[in-house]
Amino acid sequence: MADTQRPLSPHLQIYKWQVQMMTSIVHRATGIALAVGSLLVVCGLWNLAAGEDSFNRFKSIIGSPFGTVLLIGWSWALFFHLCNGIRHLIQDAGLGYDIPQFVRSSWLAVAGSIVLTVLVWAYVMTAGGVA
């Protein structure tokens, strides 16, 4: 456990729920998920370099039902981190700090991520699935 004796901030359940709390923590969570997902990018490139058999094995793994579910999750994580990341970059430029704008941009990031995920997977599914 903690080896420091610093004061703690109030626990989360003290605060009234707001959408910005959710986007903030989900931004972190999706960041961690995407860091794990980066290993998939390496695996893909590595298997493509290794030869046809490895590439086909990789394709059949990510094309399996389990692989597809993981890919849907990762794609949503990517789109959320992308939308909310752009929102944070705009805020870092000093814009959008009024509370109504702050709330609206949070919902916009959530909606944008869902729309992009649905669009991409509608395309993949109409084209006949992952692999």
Is 28 or 104 the residue whose CB approaches other proteins more closely? 28
Spatial contact of 54 and 47, defined as CB atoms under 8 Å apart: yes
Q: Which of 10, 42, 94, 99: binder of other proteins (CB under 8 A)?
A: 42
Q: Which of 18, 21, 22, 32: binder of other proteins (CB under 8 A)?
A: 32
Spatial contact of 54 and 87, defined as CB atoms under 8 Å apart: no
Is 48 a binding residue for other proteins by CB under 8 A? The answer is: yes
Q: What is the 3-state secondary structure (H, E, C) of 49-110?
A: HHCHHHHHHHHHHHHCHHHHHHHHHHHHHHHHHHHHHHHHHHHHCCCCCCHHHHHHHHHHHH
Identity of the amino acid at 99: I
Q: How far is the CB of 44 from other proteins (least distance, A)?
A: 9
- Contacts to other proteins by CB under 8 A: 1-4, 28, 31-32, 34-35, 38-39, 41-42, 45-46, 48-49, 52, 55-56, 75, 78, 82, 85-86, 88-89, 92, 120, 123-124, 127-128, 130-131
